[in-house]
């Protein structure tokens, strides 16, 4: 299954590539957060495929009564797990808390409490499919992997825990912008998982 994953920054190039058919083989769009929802909606409309996304720390709080708090045509996968095209895909939105009033921000212990909510479904998947998860989508990176030492860019330890118990083949995240000095923060193997920093976009063929 070919995936187009986007995060954090609008790329003007994407508009040209999408309209010229460059992504015609893409079967799934993944949004890793901090994206204007209009950008995600454009991609879904142009490519006419399923989209799953998680909110980032610069996205609005999801609110059922407010259409601007979600991306139309896509599914907010925060703390949810779905089966799509035989892939088990789970989402974990937000970043570490660095402002008391920040949206989609969690202390390390809040993040653990959230991750634990995914446990029943992961266990059910294990019983039903022999594996808990294939793809994890998050905004934040795990702690100590692709993250940064400044308070806003510490990774979430709950994600390391999730990766250890769910053992997905792929973990897509955003939040960490790449500069010349941190170009090593693109792809890391963690146990069975390939951890991919999506910023600003990536296409990848995933397999079981
Ligand atoms: Zn972010």
Q: Which whole-number Å values give the CA distances from 19 to 15, 24, 30, 31, 183, in the listed order?
A: 6, 9, 18, 19, 29
Please report the pLDDT score of residue 200 as a whole number. Answer: 94
Give the count of alpha carbons within 13 A of 104, CB side only.
25
Please report the pLDDT score of residue 134 as a whole number. Answer: 98
pTM assigned to the model? 0.96
Q: What is the mean pLDDT of residues 139-159?
A: 96
Q: How far is the CA of 129 from the centre of ligand 1 (A)?
A: 33
Please report the pLDDT score of residue 182 as a whole number. Answer: 72
**SS3 (DSSP) at 112:** helix
Over the stretch 35-76, which tens digit does the pLDDT of each residue have? 999 999 999 999 999 999 999 999 999 888 888 889 999 999
Please report the pLDDT score of residue 63 as a whole number. Answer: 86
Q: How far is the CA of 126 from the centre of ligand 1 (A)?
A: 31
Q: How far is the CA of 153 from the centre of ligand 1 (A)?
A: 8
Scored b (16 or more CB within 10 A) or e, 172-193 reads bbbbbbeeeeeeebeebebeeb
Q: How far is the CA of 94 from the centre of ligand 1 (A)?
A: 7
Nearest to 29 by CA among 54, 65, 9: 54
pLDDT band, residue 169 (cuts 50/70/90): very high
Q: Tell whether the torsion through CA atoms of 90, 48, 2 and 95 is positive or negative.
A: negative
Q: How far is the CA of 164 from the centre of ligand 1 (A)?
A: 23
CB count within 10 Å of CB 64 equals 7
Q: How far is the CA of 32 from the centre of ligand 1 (A)?
A: 9
Q: How far is the CA of 59 from the centre of ligand 1 (A)?
A: 9
First to last CA, the chain: 9
Q: What is the mean pLDDT of residues 16-32?
A: 95
Please report the pLDDT score of residue 183 as a whole number. Answer: 73
Average pLDDT score over the chain: 95
* CB-proximal residues (5 Å) to ion ligand 1: 34, 56-57, 175
pLDDT band, residue 185 (cuts 50/70/90): confident
Please report the pLDDT score of residue 160 as a whole number. Answer: 98
Q: How far is the CA of 38 from the centre of ligand 1 (A)?
A: 17
Please report the pLDDT score of residue 114 as a whole number. Answer: 98
Q: Tell whether the torsion through CA atoms of 107, 108, 111 and 116 is positive or negative.
A: negative
pLDDT band, residue 154 (cuts 50/70/90): very high
The more confidently predicted of residues 185 and 31 is 31
Q: How far is the CA of 200 from the centre of ligand 1 (A)?
A: 12
pLDDT band, residue 208 (cuts 50/70/90): confident
């Amino acid at each position: 299954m070919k995936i187009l994953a986007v995060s954090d920054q609008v790329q003007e190039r994407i508009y040209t590539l999408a309209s010229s058919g460059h992504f015609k083989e893409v079967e799934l769009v993944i949004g890793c957060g901090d994206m204007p929802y209009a950008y995600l909606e454009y991609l879904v409309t142009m490519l006419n495929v399923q989209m799953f996304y998680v909110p980032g720390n610069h996205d609005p709080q999801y609110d059922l009564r407010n259409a601007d708090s979600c991306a139309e045509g896509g599914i907010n996968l925060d703390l949810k797990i779905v089966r799509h095209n035989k892939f088990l895909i789970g989402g974990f939105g937000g970043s570490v808390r660095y402002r008391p009033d920040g949206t989609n921000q969690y202390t390390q212990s809040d993040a653990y409490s959230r991750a634990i909510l995914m446990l029943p479904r992961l266990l059910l998947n294990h019983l039903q499919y022999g594996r808990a998860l294939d793809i994890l989508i998050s905004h934040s990176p795990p702690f100590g992997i692709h993250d940064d030492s400044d308070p806003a860019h510490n990774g979430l330890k709950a994600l390391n825990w999730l990766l250890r118990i769910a053992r997905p083949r792929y973990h897509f995240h955003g939040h960490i912008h790449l500069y010349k000095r941190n170009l090593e923060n693109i792809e890391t193997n963690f146990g069975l998982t390939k951890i991919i920093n999506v910023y600003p976009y990536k296409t990848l063929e995933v397999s079981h």
